[in-house]
Amino acid sequence: SQTIHQWPATLVQPVGSPLSLECTVEGTSNPNLYWYRQAAGRGLQLLFYSVGIGQISSEVPQNLSASRPQDRQFILSSKKLLLSDSGFYLCAWSRRGSNQPQHFGDGTRLSIL
């Protein structure tokens, strides 16, 4: 069966510090991968989307970046965090095809001080 691991679960970082959140998927190959942010409420904001190694689509301009160094690894990074980067970050994967549901990790709660 497929599993998705996302870590860390919680993170407290000072403004201006770097960020690296990691997400890995097991039990499937060539998945679509996604990073979402959910800020202080409910809406899910799609940040990045990847259909393959090195292929990243950015949905919103920001000081975050994403990389996919391996097929089942998706990393969310920042060189300098802002207060506005606080939120709940979710990684998700899906099989190819528009009929496929997304499967989410447990999320990372990021607080910027």
The footprint of other proteins (CB under 8 A) covers 32, 34, 42-44, 46, 49, 51, 57, 59, 88, 90, 92, 94, 96-107, 109
Contact in structure between 37 and 48 (CB atoms under 8 Å): no
| Closer CB to other proteins, 15 or 60, in the complex | 60
Nearer residue to other proteins within complex by CB, 19 or 92: 92
How far apart are CB 33 and other proteins at their closest, in Å? 11
Task: Compute the least distance from the CB of residue 80 to other proteins, in Å.
Answer: 26
Query: % helix / strand / coil in the chain, to the nearest 5?
Result: 5, 55, 40
As measured in angstroms, the least distance from the Cβ of 16 to other proteins is: 26
Residue ranges with strand state E in 19-112: 19-26, 32-38, 45-52, 55-58, 64-70, 73-78, 87-94, 103-104, 108-112
Give the nearer residue to other proteins in terms of CB position, either 49 or 74. 49
